[in-house]
Amino acid sequence: MFQSVDFPGGRVAFTSEMSFIAESSEKRVKCYRVLDDNGHPMSSRFEQVSKEVAVKMYSSMVTLQIMDTIFYEAQRQGRLSFYLTSNGEEAINIASAAALSPDDVVLPQYREPGVLIWRGFTMQEFANQCFGNKADYGKGRQMPIHYGSNKHNYFTVSSPIATQLPQAVGAAYSVKMDRRDACVVTYFGDGGSSEGDFHASLNFAAVMEAPVVFICRNNGWAISTPTSEQFRSDGIVVKGQAYGVRSIRVDGNDALAVYGAIHAAREMAIREQRPILVEALTYRVGHHSTSDDSTKYRPADEIQRWKISRNPLARFRKWIERNGWLNDEDESELRDNVRKQLLHAIQVAERTEKPPLEDLFTDVYDHLPSNLQEQEKLLRDTIEKHPQDYPAGVPV
Amino acid sequence: MANCLRRFGRLGLISKAKNGKRELYSTTSVSPASGDNTSSTKSINLFTAVNQALHIALDSDPRSYVFGEDVGFGGVFRCTTGLADRFGKQRVFNTPLCEQGIVGFAIGLAAMDNRAIAEIQFVDYIYPAFDQAGDIPIVNEAAKFRYRSGNQFNCGGLTIRAPYGAVGHGGHYHSQSPEAFFCHVPGIKVVIPRSPRQAKGLLLSCIRDPNPVVFFEPKWLYRLAVEEVPENDYMLPLSEAEVIREGSDITLVGWGAQLSIMAEACVEAEKDGISCELIDLRTLLPWDKETVEASVKKTGRLLISHEAPVTGGFGAEISASIVERCFLRLEAPVARVCGLDTPFPLVFEPFYMPTKNKILDAIKATVSY
């Protein structure tokens, strides 16, 4: 008799036809793209980028690429303990940062140093963190690449996967309560979407109506685990709807598409006070980190294909070159400059002394509790007795 | 039946306290935040004291928030009654049923310079927030937030409240005392109150402390413990233990609901001519070694009692620290009267618990060692 009933949560209509919702739609969700493989706009309708911004985007992508190359080499030479590149994901890094305002608060995972480059974190600041010297804002406490900068609204990187996601929702709720003209942006990978924190955060963000943009870098690999062994859904983008979160899939190797998608996502997040999920499809061209050799689990020609013919810098360069905004001379000057800056930064960072011993004990709490005072004193006595046991570089 | 008896036992003690035996609930240092020392008091129970503290916290700082599962209608233990009506649903709200989400959200909120007061409905459900598939918001996130950023960021405005401990019928998942896990994590503070007056003053200190704090509320005492509590805004110091009964033969150290059982044992021991000194540790991390040390140097004997399983319990830490500091003054091995190394059992709860007579036997054995 009843056509529908108002169950908790709203009225639901009945049907006499028994049908299960399919586990996936017949066609995969399409991927938003602006530039084709040759750097030609596929349509004239896209978020326009000025010459100044476009050139800065390209320069920043080149900077990120060179930084990765030089730091990676420094690690191979044994000068750094660890490194992790963003190779192949330069467009996601830089174009997403370019589409944001500096007031937008970023909670990164660890493959987004390009956001800091865009915001003005210097090569020296990167090098100081990687070498863990006394100028490192993190006071030498974390492994290389765990950058953080209060003045750039960029929270300090934490190694555990996806923990930043629910925190981003809490931060966004604060931005909402303060009625700020800003949003919170958080990054994660395809592997991170399997963590409970991912699901918790999407659900919380929807319920709390938090202005947060979730950016998934779906690069196909969680260390050695391919997405086929990570999930059986059509990637990440489809997970938004189940939580009531608006979502888009974008070509992560197309800087203009990323820029446009993040620009629109930010607008909606702030204007409508809602979360947005962006899945950027890309490929992790580098190894997971310097502790990994990815040729052990994926074909070398696959890596090469993405590195050469699907390179995000190359595609964007074709577009700005065609616009007459950059020539070969500009580019080689840019590359020379960045390389010089970096080599200098590394030399300085290497020479700069380590943080003092007291930094081992501070910042556990706002003040040093008595147990730590006691332990510091004991340690200093031991150092005096056995100085040969301790690295000379740390001032005691 | 045994459960009922035990509960009446607690009730009896609390009635005694109401009748003027003040030793359990005496408060040595009430420091009014407002500087108003003349505030009147009112006889209230522990959940009402928590509720008062939350009212004051929300009222005195517009950047404070209270949230958790079922918090909006007042909470399953009524600790958040009336808060949403008074302060609005934007500052006092329900969250989805997801502990790791609650704590992750709270860390982010606190990191933006807010006071995030999160409720975990039962401490038995804090483990997903503690360690879920490699995501460890309390241990790996909250506790290291300041340190890992070189003090560029902190989540010091975070307080996680959770009811803990035996309740007579809670079984595995409504009875646990997981304080020792948290005491192994540098960067957070762990605080457990023993009474309404303590709960209000300590909770306000935790909320205003610039470090993340876990605050475990003895759920058995929510309704049972009734005490005169100042109506004003006051704070009690963290990391300061309190001697709540002076004695000369043996030192007893405990926290939370267990103190009322220990106090009963002290009274019984006195009949046998044994003078017990009883210390409420109040803050377990970082803890006040000096007060315990001074007491043990005087009495020469130490007994620690907690509901949590004995192995790896916080009593082991206290024991080791005091042996280090008082070895030559000790006249007997340090005694521990604690929960058994089993999951918290339902029917067997009276057997599992560190009861008055277990404590009394240990007092006698230690004194006559």
Cβ <8 Å between B108 and A362:
no
CA B278, CA A336: separation in Å to the nearest integer? 72
Helix axes B2-18, B258-271, angle to 10 degrees: 80
Per-chain mean pLDDT for chain B: 90
CA nearest neighbour of A262 among A187, A168, A329: A187
DSSP characters over B8-48: HHHHHHHHHHHTT--TTT--S--EETTS-----EEEEEHHH
pLDDT computed for residue A1 by the predictor: 55
- Cα separation of the two ends of chain A: 83
Distance CA A366, CA A363 (A): 6
CATH number for the domain running over B242-367: 3.40.50.920
Band of residue B19 on the pLDDT scale cut at 50, 70, 90: very low
Specify the pLDDT at position B127: 78
pLDDT (tens digit per residue) in B57-75: 999 999 999 999 999 999 9
Q: Which two tokens stand for residue A190?
A: 């395809």
Cα atoms found within 13 Å of the Cα of residue B286, Cβ hemisphere only = 16
pLDDT at B37 over 70: no
Can B306 be counted among the known catalytic residues? Answer: no
* Residue A8 pLDDT grade (very low, low, confident, very high; cuts 50, 70, 90): very high
CATH number assigned to the domain comprising residue A141: 3.40.50.970
The reply to whether A316 and A374 lie within a common domain is no
- Is residue B18 scored above 60 in pLDDT? no
In chain B, CATH 3.40.50.970 covers: 2-235
Q: Which chain B residues have a beta carbon less than 8 Å from that of A184?
A: 108
CA nearest to B239 within chain A? A369
Tell me which H or E stretch contains B278: strand B276-280
* B13 close to B234: Cβ distance less than 8 angstroms: no
Do residues A321 and A362 share a domain? no
Chain A residues in contact with B211 by the CB 8 A cut-off are 365-366
Q: Is the pLDDT of residue B16 over 80?
A: no
Does A375 share its domain with A264? no
**8 Å CB contact between A170 and A184:** no
Q: Is the pLDDT of residue B3 over 70?
A: no
pLDDT band of B135, cuts 50, 70, 90: very low
First to last CA, chain B: 35
Q: How far is CA B238 from CA A172, A383, B116, in A?
A: 31, 32, 19
For residue range B164-173, what is the model confidence (pLDDT) as tens digits? 999 999 999 9
Residue contact A171–B186, C-beta within 8 A? no
Would you place residue B125 in the very low, low, confident or very high pLDDT band (cuts 50, 70, 90)? confident
The span from the CA of A261 to the CA of A156, in Å, is 25
pLDDT of residue B15: 39
CA A264, CA A267: separation in Å to the nearest integer?
Answer: 5
Residues A134 and A94 in one domain: yes
Q: Rounded to an integer, what distance in angstroms lies between the CA atom of residue A311 and that of residue A91?
A: 9
- Which of B96, B111, B144 lies closest to A203 in CB terms? B96
Which residues 160-199 of A are in CB contact (within 8 Å) with B? 160-163, 165-175, 177, 184, 195-197
Set of chain A residues whose Cβ sits within 8 Å of the Cβ of B153: 148, 150, 155-156
Of A172, A174, A203, the CB nearest to B98: A203
Look at residues A201, A132, A215 and name the one whose alpha carbon lies nearest to residue A171: A201
Q: What percent of chain A has pLDDT over 70?
A: 99
Measured in angstroms, the CA of A142 and the nearest CA of chain B are apart by 6
Nearest CB among B111, B134, B286 relative to A171 is that of: B111
Contact assessment for residue B196 and residue B162, using Cβ atoms and an 8 Å cutoff: no
**Is residue A292 domain-shared with residue A364, that is, in the same domain?**
no
CB contact under 8 Å between B144 and A158, yes or no, is yes
CA–CA separation, A312 and A219 (whole Å): 13
Rounded distance between C-alpha atoms, residue B187 and residue A283, angstroms:
38
Within a domain: A25: no
Give the whole-angstrom CA distance, residue B110 versus residue B160.
Answer: 11
Cβ contacts of B101 on chain A, cutoff 8 Å: 166, 169, 197, 200-201, 203-204
Smallest CA-to-CA distance from B162 within B222, B85, B87, B241 is with B222
* A24 belongs to a structural domain: no
Pairing assessment for the beta strands B283-285 and B189-191 based on DSSP bridges: antiparallel
Question: What residue type is B363 in one-letter code?
Answer: I
Chain B residues in contact with A201 (beta carbon < 8 A): 101, 104
Q: Which residues of chain B neighbour A137 with C-beta distances below 8 Å?
A: 149-150, 152
Residues A342 and A361 in one domain: no
For residues B65 and B116, the answer to whether their CB atoms sit within 8 Å is: yes
Q: B81 phi and psi, to 5 degrees?
A: -55, 130
Spatial distance between the Cα atoms of A190 and A188, rounded to a whole number of angstroms: 7
A342 and A377 share one domain: no
Same domain, A218 and A86: yes
Please tell me the distance from the alpha carbon of residue B63 to that of residue B235, in angstroms, as a whole number.
Answer: 19
Catalytic residues of A: 73, 159, 288-289
**Catalytic residue flag (residue B55):** no
Confidence of residue A2 (pLDDT cuts 50, 70, 90): low
Domain total in chain A = 2
Which of A171, A196, A369 minimises the CB distance to B133? Answer: A196
User: Averaged over B315-339, what is the pLDDT?
Assistant: 98
Q: What's the CATH fold of domain B2-235?
A: Rossmann fold (3.40.50)
Nearest one of A312, A390, A389, A241 to A88, comparing CA atoms: A312
- B38 pLDDT band (50/70/90 cuts)? low
Residue type, B252: L
Residue-level pLDDT at A163: 93
A156: three-class secondary structure by DSSP:
coil
User: pLDDT tier at A242 (50, 70, 90 boundaries)?
Assistant: very high
Write the DSSP symbol of residue A133. Answer: -
- pLDDT of residue B308 exceeding 60, the answer is yes
CB contact under 8 Å between A363 and B137, yes or no, is no
Per-residue pLDDT at B275 exceeds 70: yes
Q: Which two tokens stand for residue B264?
A: 């009963």
Give the residues across from B119 on adjacent strands.
B68, B161
Verify that A338 and A373 share a domain, yes or no: no
How far apart are alpha carbons B235 and A309 in whole angstroms?
A: 65
A100: pLDDT strictly greater than 50:
yes
Question: Chain A within 8 Å of B206 (Cβ-Cβ)?
Answer: no
The tokens describing A175, both together, are 């931005």
Rounded CA separation A193/B51 (Å): 38
Binary contact (A168, B95; C-beta < 8 A):
no
- What's the residue count for chain B? 369
Q: Of B217, B196, B54, B51, nearest to B120 (Cα)? A: B217
- Residue A312 dihedral angles phi and psi, to the nearest 5°: -65, -30
Minimal-distance CA residue of chain A relative to B157: A366
CA nearest to B197, candidates B71, B337, B318, B18: B18
| Pair A346, A365 in one domain | no
CA–CA dist B282, B297 (Å, integer): 20
Which of B103, B135, B159, B239 would you mutate first to test chain A, the one with the most A CBs within 10 A? B135
Tell me if A11 is assigned to some domain.
no
Nearest to B152 among A137, A167, A170 (CB): A137
Q: Kindly state whether B283 is in contact with chain A, defined as any CB-CB distance less than 8 angstroms.
A: no
pLDDT band at B7 (very low <50, low <70, confident <90, very high): very low
Q: What is the pLDDT of residue B215?
A: 98
What DSSP character marks residue B132? B
> Residue A205 and residue A108: Cα distance in Å, rounded?
17
- Distance from the Cα of B100 to chain A's closest Cα (Å) equals 7
CB within 8 Å: A364 and B150: no
| Bond preceding residue B286 cis, omega within 30 of 0 | yes
Nearest to A201 among B101, B113, B150 (CB): B101
What CA–CA distance (Å, rounded) separates A379 from A376? 5
Pairs of residues, one from chain A and one from chain B, whose beta carbons lie less than 8 Å apart: 160
Residues 114-143 in B contacting A (C-alpha not used; CB under 8 Å): 114, 116, 128, 132-137, 140-141
Contact A49, A95 (CB under 8 A): no
Report, as an integer, the average pLDDT of A58-76.
97
The DSSP secondary-structure symbol of B155 reads -
Nearest CA in chain A to B212: A365
Confidence band (pLDDT; 50, 70, 90) for B139? confident
Please give the Cα distance from B281 to B180 (Å, whole number): 14
Q: Where in chain B is the domain with CATH 3.40.50.920?
A: 242-367
- The pLDDT of B329-346, averaged and rounded, is 97
Closest CA to B121 of B164, B90, B183: B164
**Among the partner residues A156, A165, A201, nearest to B148 by beta-carbon distance:** A156
Determine phi and psi for B162, rounding to 5 degrees.
Answer: -155, 135
How crowded is residue A331: how many other Cβ atoms within 10 Å of its Cβ?
A: 15
CB contact under 8 A, B149 and A156: yes
- Give the pLDDT band of residue B22 (cuts 50, 70, 90): very low
B39 pLDDT above the threshold of 70: yes
What is the C-alpha to C-alpha distance for residues B364 and B369, in angstroms, rounded to an integer? 8
Question: If contacts are CB pairs under 8 Å, which of residues 214-243 in chain B contact chain A?
Answer: 239
Closest CA to B185 of B217, B138, B231, B116: B138
Let me know if residue A23 belongs to a domain: no
Residue A276: domain span: 51-351
Residue A12 lies in a domain: no
Q: How confident is the model at residue B126 (pLDDT cuts 50, 70, 90)?
A: confident
Q: Do B146 and A363 touch (CB under 8 A)?
A: yes
Q: Identify which of B111, B133, B150 has the shortest CB distance to residue A167.
A: B111
In the predicted model, is pLDDT for residue B9 greater than 50? no
For residue B1, pLDDT beyond 70? no
Token reading at A284: 């992790």
**pLDDT value at B14 more than 70:** no
What gap in Å lies between CA A392 and CA B24, rounded to an integer?
54
Q: Which of A223, A201, A187, A167 is nearest to A95 (CA)?
A: A187
The answer to whether residues B366 and B301 touch, using CB atoms and an 8 Å cutoff, is yes
Cβ atoms B23, B267 nearer than 8 A: no
Q: Are residues A246 and A146 in the same domain?
A: yes
To the nearest whole Å, the CA of A108 is away from the closest chain B CA by: 13
**Residues sharing a CB contact under 8 Å with residue A86, sequence separation 6 or more, in sequence order:** A64, A68, A93, A111, A112, A113, A114, A286
DSSP state of A22: P
Q: Which of B174, B217, B242, B306 is catalytic?
A: B174
CB contact under 8 A, A158 and B140: yes
Give the mean model confidence (pLDDT) for residues A359-388: 96
Residue A181 domain-assigned (yes or no): yes
For residues A284 and A337, membership in a common domain is answered with yes
Q: Which of residues 103-132 of A touch B (CB under 8 A)?
A: 105, 107
